Amino acid sequence: MELRGAVVVVTGASSGIGAATALELGRAGAKLVLHGRDPARLASLAGRTGGLTLPADFADTEAVSRVAAEVTERFGTVDALVNNAGIGWAGAFSEMTREQVRDLIAVNLTAPIELTRALLPALSPQGRVVFVTSIAGRTGVAGEAVYSAVKAGLDSFAESLRFELAGTGMKVGVVVPGVVDTEFFARRGRPYERRSPRPVPPERVAAAVVRAVRDGRAESYVPRWLRVPVAVRGLVPGLYRGLAARFGGS
């Protein structure tokens, strides 16, 4: 896909991976729709990239539908949708409140599915839909049971949609990050304290997202070696579980 002039919607563009993605797409000449919650951050980003800002809280499904309607009304056709907005939560599952579970599911799973559903009719014939999932959704992580579950659900949704759209010209991709140096950990209320794997800069994930949009790539791990534990888990799950229990499982 030619990025210059392409209409690209980036959710969660006000921070971290989304902001880095928007900056790279802006440099490539894309026409951006910048979503997030923080209007001031979005306005500051738009000052560097150009584009339309659409603040909305994706814990509310109605707000997701409103964003889709506004994008369709303003542009008619969308060339790419990057579903990136997300939140984490860490701690024992038994300590989660019903509201915390609800919001994790709403923001990380319901919102990207609803936004994709609502924008699919406006997607150009060669359009792209990219999802930022997580290694947690591929392996499971102690202390992140619901987060892992919703990311696994998003992964599975993306894979199914890719099959469904095969032959249409539209392509679906997932970017599967490991640990990324963003505000994600501070916001979820528990900093990242492990010594390995080391966090990667958000620009590295953004580069993979932009490749997924430009080339229609189906799947990218960031960093690439993360495919190894996923493959081990698939081939020898008993060995994987033993190693995960020994080295922390998270």
Ligand X SMILES: NC(=O)c1ccc[n+]([C@@H]2O[C@H](COP(=O)([O-])OP(=O)(O)OC[C@H]3O[C@@H](n4cnc5c(N)ncnc54)[C@H](OP(=O)(O)O)[C@@H]3O)[C@@H](O)[C@H]2O)c1
Instruction: Mark whether 147 is an active-site residue.
Output: yes
Which residue among 147, 192, 221, 240 is the active-site one? Answer: 147
Q: Which residues bind ligand X (CB under 6 A)?
A: 12-18, 36-38, 41, 57-59, 84-87, 107, 132, 134, 177, 179-180, 182-184, 187, 202
Q: Which is nearer to ligand X, 122 or 206 (CB)?
A: 206
Q: Which is nearer to ligand X, 132 or 170 (CB)?
A: 132
Beta-bridged to residue 221, according to DSSP, are 176
Instruction: Tell me how far, at minimum, the Cβ of 63 lies from ligand X, in Å.
Output: 8
Instruction: Tell me how far, at minimum, the Cβ of 125 lies from ligand X, in Å.
Output: 27
How many residues are recorded in the chain?
Answer: 250
Instruction: Tell me how far, at minimum, the Cβ of 181 lies from ligand X, in Å.
Output: 7
Q: Which is nearer to ligand X, 58 or 240 (CB)?
A: 58
What are the strands of the beta sheet with 31-36, ordered from one edge? 52-55, 31-36, 7-10, 78-83, 123-132, 171-177, 219-222
User: CA-to-CA distance for 48 and 191, rounded, in angstroms?
Assistant: 30
Residues 6+ apart with CB under 8 A from 188: 87, 88, 89, 90
- Name the helix (H) or strand (E) containing 82: strand 78-83
152 sits in the region (left: phi over 0; alpha: psi -120 to 50; else beta) called alpha
Q: Which is nearer to ligand X, 37 or 217 (CB)?
A: 37
Instruction: Tell me how far, at minimum, the Cβ of 130 lies from ligand X, in Å.
Output: 12
- Residues taking part in catalysis: 147
